[in-house]
Chain A
Amino acid sequence: MNLDATGAGALIVVLVMALVTLATRWGGVFVMAFVPISDRVRQFITAMSGSVLVAIVAPMALQGDAGARLALLATAVTMLVLKKPLPAIAAGILAAALVRQF
């Protein structure tokens, strides 16, 4: 189904996107209401919470250019040394920006 992306049509597209996104923000909470929080469930979701992050970042490292890879490396190293997120992120962005100037 196609929708005209002019005038009100564009706003309808935006509303549809907003509803789908809202469903993802609320869906996980809603479903969990039917799952008893046992010790096993707790183990699963704790392990899953770190894994979400890893699963987002891993393809960036694999698919990314030298800038992306160096950015992630700089962030990881800075974080290990300083244990503060902001300098770590700044180091990462700086690394990517420097590599990509050439």
Chain B
Amino acid sequence: MTDAESELHHFDRRMVWAGFRQLAPISIFVTLFGAAFGLAAVQTGLDDSVILAMSALVFAGASQFAALELWGTQVPLFTLMITVFAINARHLLMGATLYPWLRQLPPGRRYGVMLIASDANWAMAMQAFNRNRPGFGLLLGGGLALWSFWVAGSWLGIHFGSAVSNPKRLGLDMVMGCFLLAMVVGGEKNLRMLVIWSVAAGASLLAFRYLPENSHVVVGALAGGATGLLWKEKARES
């Protein structure tokens, strides 16, 4: 590891604020998505305080929507745990991919910044690290932006939800998909990456079709990672 690279894990208040501002525009879409969740949760019959607690403490949209599907007068706890774990298992991979930089932080900060890791801020942080730029300001500041807008959106949905009663019609269900795809396309492009992505996509689709629900992200990511091992990148000049 070069000297320049070993400084990449540093972050301070200014970088966190910069990360917050960088993720703020996308967070506006997150607000609308949160509002859609708030409304759906009200319609499912959850109390306002439960909805806000869920958005604040769980902070993982897809799994929260899935929980609504299982919600009734009784909630099957074990099924819910499995579902939430499977949908959020991608966080395991995010933590692992950030580890080369996370390990240089003291444990408190290391686990602290991961508290609000989610798709968008992780993708931004990872892209920064891959370009030899510091990324934890983006992870933490961006995460704070996403979190606060998500909670605020949920609150709006509870009280003014009918304005976004049909988020799909407005294309809002595609916010995360489009964001993540933009990150892929904006990343490093060469034949090796193209092959890795193709393998990941193929494995994900096969898992989606034939394996248990929600396993496709982990399967696709591991397949892509294994491909990267087989076709090694030439050592970077440092």
Please report A residues at the B interface, Cβ cutoff 8 Å. Answer: 1-6, 9-11, 13-18, 20-33, 37, 39-40, 42-60, 62-63, 67-68, 71-72, 75-76, 79-80, 83, 85-86, 88-89, 92-97, 100-101
Contacts and interface: CB of A to CB of B under 8 A. Distances in A.
Contact of B95 (A16, A20, A25): A25
Interface in B82-141: 84-85, 88-100, 102-103, 110-111, 114-115, 117, 119, 123, 126, 130
Contacts of A9: 75
Contacts of B163: none
Given A1-B76, A1-B78, A24-B85, A55 B60 contact: no
Contact of B81 (A20, A42, A72): A20
Nearest to B124: A85
Given A25-B117, A54-B220, A56-B119, A48 B97 contact: yes
A66 to B, nearest CB: 12
Contacts of B92: 24, 27-28, 31
Interface of B: 25-26, 29, 46-47, 49-50, 53-54, 57-60, 63-64, 67, 71-78, 80-81, 84-85, 88-100, 102-103, 110-111, 114-115, 117, 119, 123, 126, 130, 168-188, 193, 196-197, 199-201, 203-205, 208, 216-229, 232-233, 235
Contacts of A45: 96-97, 99-100, 225
Nearest to B73: A5
A102 B223 CA distance: 39
A10 B186 CA distance: 42
B88 A24 contact: yes
B130 A53 contact: no
B177 A48 contact: no
16 contacts: A11-B50, A18-B57, A47-B196, A49-B130, A50-B184, A52-B221, A53-B183, A58-B216, A59-B205, A62-B208, A67-B171, A71-B177, A72-B177, A72-B178, A79-B181, A97-B170
Given A26-B114, A53-B184, A37 B67 contact: no
A10 B47 contact: yes
B58 A62 contact: no
A85 B179 contact: yes
Contact of B88 (A21, A39, A100): A21
Contact of A17 (B58, B78, B183): B58
A58 B187 contact: no
B123 A53 contact: yes
A68 B174 contact: yes
A10 B103 CA distance: 36
Given A24-B88, A27-B92, A4 B74 contact: yes
Given A62-B205, A92-B171, A49 B126 contact: yes
Contacts of A58: 200-201, 204-205, 208, 216, 220
